[in-house]
């Protein structure tokens, strides 16, 4: 059997599994090699002047935002269920794109697979980390996502208020701490919007 003879659906399943595995391995390496976060802050290693490796447990979604405020059970459940629904929609969408065949650019499929892998990676955190990790005690669907990548690129002294979420407490852009799954999703969305805009617009997305 050659690589070309493998059905596209199987290739996508293998690629998705590999991407999710990378995300989970990185999170476990961080969990077992850095100190869990406390009320006083989080463990951090300065790898480069523009790159810190951290250990942050994020109870919400992007930039640590939470539905319903800190500790809201319904918000956490809604977020977990939303991720589950989004994964189902992505799988359906990828199957639909595959049926359209060669008229769909390969880059669109790659972008969709990256978003799918990112969503699955973060869903695993929220589903099981509350049950399995000693640093968490949230129960099923109540786990916190492990974030570890911080890119303090430059000081932004006069950041406009509407962009303040991009600046950390130390005044550096980019202030958010994120993980590999988040990087999959962010890179894919930016790529699709910039390089696949014509296809998405023609397809009604």
Residues noted as catalytic = 147, 182
Q: Phi and psi dihedrals of 57, rounded to 5? A: -105, 110
Residue 169 Cα to chain centre, angstroms: 22
Contact yes or no for 184/115 (Cβ under 8 A): yes
Give every strand in the sheet of 145-150, ordered side by side.
Answer: 44-48, 51-58, 145-150, 177-178
Mapped onto helix, strand or coil, the DSSP state of residue 41 is strand
Of 3, 8, 1, nearest to 110 by C-alpha is 8
| Distance (Å) of CA 144 to CA 8, 65, 85 | 33, 12, 19
- Runs of H (alpha helix) within 125-196: 130-132, 180-195
Spatial distance between the Cα atoms of 27 and 25, rounded to a whole number of angstroms:
5
Looking at residue 167, the DSSP 8-state letter turns out to be B
Contact yes or no for 109/98 (Cβ under 8 A): yes
């Amino acid at each position: 059997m050659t690589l070309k003879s493998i059905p596209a659906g199987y290739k996508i399943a293998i690629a998705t599994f590999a991407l999710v595995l990378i995300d989970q391995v990185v999170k476990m390496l961080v969990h077992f090699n850095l100190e869990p976060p406390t009320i006083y802050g989080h463990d951090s290693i300065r790898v480069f002047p523009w790159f810190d490796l951290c250990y942050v447990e994020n109870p919400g979604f992007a930039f640590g935002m939470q539905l319903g405020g800190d500790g809201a059970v319904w918000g956490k459940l809604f977020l977990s269920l939303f991720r589950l629904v989004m994964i189902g929609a992505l799988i359906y969408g990828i199957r639909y794109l595959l049926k359209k065949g060669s008229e769909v650019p390969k880059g669109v499929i790659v972008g969709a697979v990256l978003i799918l892998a990112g969503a699955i990676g973060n869903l695993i955190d929220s589903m099981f980390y509350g049950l399995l990790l000693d640093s968490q005690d949230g129960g099923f669907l109540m786990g916190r996502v492990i974030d570890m990548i911080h890119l303090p690129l430059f000081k932004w002294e006069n950041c406009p208020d509407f962009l303040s979420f991009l600046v950390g407490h130390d005044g550096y852009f980019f202030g958010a701490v994120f993980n590999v799954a988040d990087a999959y999703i962010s890179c894919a969305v930016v790529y699709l919007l910039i390089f696949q805009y014509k296809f998405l617009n023609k397809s009604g997305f």
